[in-house]
Structure 1
Amino acid sequence: MAAITLTDVDLDYPDGTAGLRRIDLDIDDGEFVALVGPSGSGKTTLLRTVAGFLAPTAGTIRLGDEVVADGRRATPPEHRQLGMVFQQHAIWPHRSVGRNVSYPLERAGVPKRTRGQRVDEVLELVGLAGFRDRDPATLSGGQRQRVALARALAASPRALLLDEALSALDEPLRDRLRLELRSLTRAARLTVVHVTHDRAEALALADRIAVLDSGRIQQIGTPEEVLSQPASAFVAGFLSDANLWDGRMEHGSFRTQRHRWEVRGELIERARAGAGTIAVLPGDVELCGSDEAVFEGIVSSSLFGRDANDVVVTSRGTDIRCAVPGRRPVVGDRVSLRVRRALFYPSDDAARGTTTAPAVLEEVR
């Protein structure tokens, strides 16, 4: 097992396109880190750079105490002792389950008897004991992905890299494999880097989440931190579907094209005048009586959720997304809303990921 450390890593493609910029990331031995971000954000590029399929143009990458890339040279993927599982499980149809799993051991020159023992161990670990002689064609999608995972684990890798490894599976199989994956990686004390487009999956699995955009890490933190304390308006919008409004902070109020709010609370003491973005998380908007309302509007969308209903209220031309527990409002209902918390991000600080303290908004009528 090994920690993974990236320091000031840049990556430029041959055409000059920037793939990664100033990546600093420390992943502890045995830690599970998820990489999330929109398409083109750099999350797969970052994973492939750690794996050795791409070489950084600057910065260093360490696996444990070993430098595997430093901008001048890079250790080939096959010598980094990493396990990798892709979205498409890519197991060989002409080899039995056992021979698929033993492939990295064969390449490493492990004796046949030792190979057989290790194959049985990892097949049992992934829940496929007794499948050693099975033909891959007889397996379900979930079983084939377990074979791919067993193959990645067979050679006792220093770390496990997962590239959308569960996204091709249907629910509820994907949900079950999430639980199994987290359990077996903890049992094996594996360092894991997991790329996923599924925000719920990242939040459920990871010890920490790194949010990427435009080849840069916008924030890294525990699931609780990135959800409740987003470092930028982008992170708030991407991870939490926050309501985002651009405007200006002036004399204790925030103005947009359609609204003007008085700002109450600590934020007003820290937010200097100027352009910026206010972010309001859906969970910080709640139904209330008309005398407490910041917004009044009509329910334009109402979707059922297990923990809270996903509701959109249209108020004076503005759509406001909120998470409403309990009874689900009906489309067309007139409702009153109040905001329990808002975050202000000055325009010149937003790109650097700085934020100010929360505040309560009160609309000026």
Structure 2
Amino acid sequence: MSAITLTGVDLRYPDGTAGLSGIDLDVRDGEFVALVGPSGSGKTTLLRTVAGFLAPTVGLVRLGDEVVADGTRAVPPDKRGLGMVFQQHAIWPHRSVGRNVAYPLEVAKVPRARRAERVADVLDLVGLPGLAKRDPATLSGGQRQRVALARALVAQPRALLLDEALSALDEPLRDRLRLELRTLTRAQNLTVVHVTHDRAEALALADRVVVLDGGRIQQVGTPEELVQRPRSAFVAKFLSDANLLPGTVSDHGFSSADGGVHVGRDRLADMSSGTGILAVLPSDIEVTSTDSAGTTQGIVMSSLFGREASDVVVSCRGAEFRCAVRGTRPVVGDRVRLTIRRALFYPAPTKADVPAPSAAALAGSRR
């Protein structure tokens, strides 16, 4: 059963700007879904539409079997039975931890004894046992965010909505809370929709990831599907920092538009032909010394250490290739050879295809 369903949802602001276009999405009971995309892609707009802070112009929003918005009417946010945690935790300084957490139960007029019992249970759940009487000013940033999470969970919501809920925290605290959040949501079988600008966080936490651009869904899939089989050059670039080259595929393979880069047909992941964009993931490029056999020689322009793989940029034949290098890291100025082991080709869209992602979103990587 789907906990959250959006069908044919469009949202336009009063000035005519499109916030969402043609959104169809099912979030299943107990599923953790992450929304990612560049700034202005519509991820927060989508979350706020589910929450009820924004109303769709057309289309349906369902929570379980209940229609909560249909383009003409919308159930208010406080009547939707959802929990929400924002980037800024918004803990009230004049209330104790326990009274902060108990606020939704006070609004619902839950008896005092039951409130105290439920607050104690949920504080224990989020790792803050016995802190109900504490002053919020005495808590760390991570503890305050746990209080905000406890407040969102205390009324046993239908689903939990997270809007950049971890982004204000410093590492390694954010990493620890990320692990705790995933463990908690799995143990409670919570349905979660999580907006984040952190691609690694989305891929690590989510059962499925929704990639948005220009108010449209570009792809929905598991982390493995999105990384290994991106549907478009935009998704490959945004999620995996793919190197993009315009050009043409023929029986002999790919040739870039300027003629500087050639990739054999046997290295292409599918049999598409014609004009389009070649996408090469950094992990699919082998970087070796100039003494080794390779396909293309270049110069290292940037070399940044990484724990799993170093981030190396190589300039060759008029193009720059971002490469993930394991083992010995080359230094800036080194002459190296590149071997493209695998590449993805995306034929140029026709007029009947879904509108292409924005140029601004496609242009740069976002790590």
TM-score range, shorter-chain basis? over 0.9
- SS at structure 2 position matched to 1:127: coil
- SS at structure 1 position matched to 2:176: helix
Partner of 2:117: 117
- In structure 1, C-alpha distance between the alignment counterparts of 2:121 and 2:189, rounded to whole Å: 16
- In structure 2, C-alpha distance between the alignment counterparts of 1:2 and 1:91, rounded to whole Å: 32
Partner of 1:336: 337
Amino acid at match of 1:107: V
Amino acid at match of 2:103: Y
Partner of 2:238: 238
Q: Which of structure 1's runs of 4+ aligned residues deviate more than 6 A?
A: none
- SS at structure 2 position matched to 1:257: coil
Please show how residues 1-365 of structure 1 align to structure 2 within 5 Å: 3-250=3-250, 252=252, 253-265=254-266, 267=268, 270-273=271-274, 275-288=275-288, 292-348=293-349, 352=354
Tell me if the contact between 1:10 and 1:21 (Cα under 8 Å) persists in the aligned partners. Answer: yes
- SS at structure 2 position matched to 1:74: coil
- In structure 2, C-alpha distance between the alignment counterparts of 1:339 and 1:117, rounded to whole Å: 60
**What is the CA-CA distance between 1:353 and the residue it aligns to?**
9.3
- Segment drifting more, 257-266 vs 298-307: 257-266
- SS at structure 2 position matched to 1:131: coil
Amino acid at match of 2:307: R
**What is the CA-CA distance between 1:292 and the residue it aligns to?**
3.8
Q: Please, which runs of 5 or more residues in structure 2 have no aligned partner?
A: 357-367
Tell me if the contact between 1:81 and 1:157 (Cα under 8 Å) persists in the aligned partners. Answer: yes
Amino acid at match of 2:336: V
Superposed CA RMSD in Å reads 1.9
- Closer/same/farther in 2, CA of residues 240 and 186 from structure 1, 3 Å limit: same
Tell me if the contact between 1:34 and 1:193 (Cα under 8 Å) persists in the aligned partners. Answer: yes
- Closer/same/farther in 2, CA of residues 306 and 349 from structure 1, 3 Å limit: farther
For residues 206-256 of structure 1, give each alpha carbon's deviation from its aligned partner in whole angstroms, at most 9, with x where no partner exists.
Answer: 011000000011011111110111110000000000000112335544232
- SS at structure 2 position matched to 1:293: coil
- Closer/same/farther in 2, CA of residues 154 and 341 from structure 1, 3 Å limit: same
Amino acid at match of 1:213: D
- SS at structure 2 position matched to 1:348: coil
Q: TM-score normalized by structure 1?
A: 0.93
Tell me if the contact between 2:268 and 2:342 (Cα under 8 Å) persists in the aligned partners. Answer: no
- Segment drifting more, 144-153 vs 328-337: 328-337
- Segment drifting more, 291-300 vs 210-219: 291-300
- Closer/same/farther in 2, CA of residues 270 and 2 from structure 1, 3 Å limit: closer
- In structure 1, C-alpha distance between the alignment counterparts of 2:71 and 2:355, rounded to whole Å: 27
- In structure 1, C-alpha distance between the alignment counterparts of 2:25 and 2:11, rounded to whole Å: 15
For residues 142-171 of structure 1, give each alpha carbon's deviation from its aligned partner in whole angstroms, at most 9, with x where no partner exists.
Answer: 110000000000000000000000000000
Tell me if the contact between 2:162 and 2:194 (Cα under 8 Å) persists in the aligned partners. Answer: yes
- In structure 2, C-alpha distance between the alignment counterparts of 1:289 and 1:264, rounded to whole Å: 25
Tell me if the contact between 1:34 and 1:209 (Cα under 8 Å) persists in the aligned partners. Answer: yes
**What is the CA-CA distance between 1:2 and the residue it aligns to?**
6.5
**What is the CA-CA distance between 1:201 and the residue it aligns to?**
0.7
- In structure 2, C-alpha distance between the alignment counterparts of 1:268 and 1:43, rounded to whole Å: 30
Amino acid at match of 1:83: G
Amino acid at match of 2:16: G
**What is the CA-CA distance between 1:317 and the residue it aligns to?**
2.5
Tell me if the contact between 1:2 and 1:191 (Cα under 8 Å) persists in the aligned partners. Answer: no
The share of aligned pairs that are identical, in percent, is 70
For residues 271-293 of structure 1, give each alpha carbon's deviation from its aligned partner in whole angstroms, at most 9, with x where no partner exists.
Answer: 232x3111000000012465642
Tell me if the contact between 1:231 and 1:353 (Cα under 8 Å) persists in the aligned partners. Answer: no
Provide the aligned length of Structure 1 versus Structure 2: 353
Amino acid at match of 2:46: L
**What is the CA-CA distance between 1:330 and the residue it aligns to?**
1.2
Q: Please, which runs of 5 or more residues in structure 1 have no aligned partner?
A: 355-365
